[in-house]
Amino acid sequence: MYVKNSIEQWDQIIEEFKSYDATATEFCKEKKISKSQFYYHRKRLAHQQIEPTLCEVELAKVSTPINPKNAEPSSKYIKIEINNAIIHIPTSEATLLTTIIKELSATC
């Protein structure tokens, strides 16, 4: 018969397994615990230990003086440059702009 353990006890059991020299099956038999519960709690503990990563993006400051005589009344395209990739997006495509900004935000 298997014993019901608390979350803290499971955390301790999983830590003990890390220094155990046999298989998970042998460990579970020795500790009188269910293999399925052991794997569940090991996976749960592993997910708790994953730290979020930070993706830092460096933005280049570009200052281009605008000559009012040569300036266009409104730009027709938005230009996005990332490394060697250059994307030109029509300003009339609000849905496309939103999608691209969301995708870029998600990857960083």
Residue 91 vs residues 48, 78, 97, 103: alpha-carbon distances, Å: 43, 6, 8, 18
Q: Is 101 helix (H, G, I), strand (E, B) or coil?
A: helix
Query: What is the H or E stretch that residue 78 is in?
Result: strand 77-82
Q: Do 98 and 60 share a structural domain?
A: yes
32 found inside a domain: yes
* Cβ(49)–Cβ(56) below 8 Å: no
Burial of 74 (0-12, 13-18, 19+ CB in 10 A): exposed
Model confidence at 26: pLDDT above 90:
yes
Average pLDDT, the chain: 80
Structural domain for 103, as ranges: 55-65+74-108
Report pLDDT digits (tens) over 65-95.
Answer: 666 555 554 578 888 887 788 888 887 887 8
27 found inside a domain: yes
Percent of the chain predicted with pLDDT > 90: 13
41 Cα distance to chain centroid: 22
Q: Do 34 and 60 share a structural domain?
A: no
Q: Do 61 and 31 share a structural domain?
A: no
16 found inside a domain: yes
Domain count, the chain: 2
Q: Do 44 and 13 share a structural domain?
A: yes
